[in-house]
Amino acid sequence: MASIKSVLITGGTGSFGKTMLRELLHGDIEEVRVFSRDEEKQDALRNQLHDGRVRYYIGDVRDRSSVDRAVAGVDAIFHAAALKQVPSCEFFPLEAVRTNILGSENIIRAALASKVQSVVCLSTDKAVMPINAMGISKALMEKLAQSAAREIGSKADTTISCVRYGNVMYSRGSVIPLFIKQIKAGQPITVTEPEMTRFLMPLRDSVALVRFAFDHARQGDLFIKKAPASTIGDLVTALKEIFGVPDHEVNVIGWRHAEKLFETLASAQELSSSEDMGEYYRLRLDERDLNYSAYVSEGEAETHSYQDFHSHNAQRLEVAEVKDLLMSLPEVQAEVASWQAKRP
């Protein structure tokens, strides 16, 4: 990220935002703007960091005027602000439309107007063949980014790209902290479906993915990491072993609504025009015009030889590997240490 002096992080007080912020501050960045709605979280961050290079912007991506003020003059934007909880978007889909779709359009249009060099939009595996409102809204955010990229072309001042994550391990409200809480409280572990799989991604990998996108993006690219996956059953076994409670009770509670047996990071069609970049895939923008013969009669010659890349056919972690990955997370290390300190 050599040539940039100032960065805006939308959703800057969230898990991703704070981790990216700290990384940027370790480098020679001149200014990082943290844009978010919650003044209390900003205040807590300000008191932790005490770094004059960080500037705090209260605002909402839904409100273009607040976005314009934060965007003006920055070199790059990492757009992480989103409604990302599946259940809340399911019950309030219009809120997901407002934040994830219209808010993202505000960010993209403000970036173009201010000639920001690079915008990286954070998406999710749930945006591929989506079945829930959160995934559908993120899929539309990707479409907006790609359509703007197509419209401005490769010679524009601004490069727009996206990344897709899998499940970020130990993220707020997710299953790993929940299972640990249940173990510590002596309550049964509530498993929806032991055979369900998810891509497992430490937060550090999601930050690395965004940096990779920033460094390598061409107009309209979407990047994914070749992340490994685990079954929920193996995740539970790994946690029980880490906490030394191999016989801890497990309750199978059944699927929650609007969830999938496995998640897909890239479709066969996307992979047919992808570039294998080692740890990552670059999914290229389809640059064809709105040309009906291409959409209706010419078809996609190459698609058939590719398979979707999903959490059932990705590298499957063994229980021992899930344990290693979990124990590489500082949060899990701290949970285990406090647990061991209290046990006889």
Cα atoms in the 13 Å half-sphere on the side-chain side of 82: 27
* Stretch (H or E) spanning 56: strand 54-58
Catalytic-labelled residue, pool 18, 84, 115, 126: 126
Answer yes or no whether residue 15 interacts with ligand GDU by CB under 6 A.
no
What part of residues 214-233 is at the interface with ligand GDU (CB under 6 A)? 232
**Least distance from ligand GDU to the Cβ atom of residue 204, Å:** 16
Answer yes or no whether residue 124 interacts with ligand GDU by CB under 6 A.
yes
Task: Identify which of residues 4 and 14 has a Cβ nearer to ligand GDU in the complex.
Answer: 14
Answer yes or no whether residue 88 interacts with ligand GDU by CB under 6 A.
no
Answer yes or no whether residue 167 interacts with ligand GDU by CB under 6 A.
yes
Residues 6+ apart with CB under 8 A from 79: 10, 11, 61, 104, 107, 119, 120, 121, 122
Answer yes or no whether residue 198 interacts with ligand GDU by CB under 6 A.
yes
Provide the β-strand partners of residue 230.
Answer: 198
Long-range contacts of the stretch 285-291 (C-beta < 8 A, 24+): 285/146, 285/149, 285/150, 285/218, 285/219, 285/220, 285/221, 285/222, 286/146, 287/150, 287/220
**Least distance from ligand GDU to the Cβ atom of residue 12, Å:** 17
Near ligand GDU by CB under 6 A, which window of 49-57, 81-89, 97-105, 288-296?
Answer: 81-89
Residue 315 DSSP one-character state: P
Residue in 23, 119, 25, 39 with CA at minimum distance from that of residue 71? 119
Does residue 84 have an active-site annotation?
no
**Least distance from ligand GDU to the Cβ atom of residue 40, Å:** 21
Answer yes or no whether residue 44 interacts with ligand GDU by CB under 6 A.
no
What part of residues 243-262 is at the interface with ligand GDU (CB under 6 A)? 256, 259
Q: What is the distance between the alpha carbons of residues 71 and 59, in angstroms, rounded to a whole number?
A: 11
DSSP per position, 180-233: HHHHHHTPPEEES-TT-EEEEE-HHHHHHHHHHHHHH--TT-EEEE---EEEHH
Answer yes or no whether residue 174 interacts with ligand GDU by CB under 6 A.
yes
Reduced to 3 states (helix: H, G, I; strand: E, B; else coil), residue 100 is helix
Answer yes or no whether residue 238 interacts with ligand GDU by CB under 6 A.
no
The residue within the footprint of ligand GDU, chosen from 8, 120, 191, 314 (CB under 6 A), is 191
Terminal-to-terminal C-alpha distance of the chain = 49
The residue within the footprint of ligand GDU, chosen from 6, 19, 85, 273 (CB under 6 A), is 85
Answer yes or no whether residue 84 interacts with ligand GDU by CB under 6 A.
yes
Question: For the CA atoms of the chain, what is the radius of gyration?
Answer: 21
Contact between 203 and 16 (Cβ < 8 Å)? yes
Near ligand GDU by CB under 6 A, which window of 66-74, 189-197, 216-224, 237-245?
Answer: 189-197
The residue within the footprint of ligand GDU, chosen from 74, 110, 136, 196 (CB under 6 A), is 196
**Least distance from ligand GDU to the Cβ atom of residue 109, Å:** 25
Residue in 209, 222, 313 with CA at minimum distance from that of residue 274? 222
Near ligand GDU by CB under 6 A, which window of 121-129, 215-223, 286-294, 320-328?
Answer: 121-129
Answer yes or no whether residue 192 interacts with ligand GDU by CB under 6 A.
yes
Give the catalytic positions in this structure.
Answer: 126
Residues that bind ligand GDU (CB under 6 A): 84-86, 124-126, 167, 173-175, 178, 190-192, 196, 198, 232, 256, 259
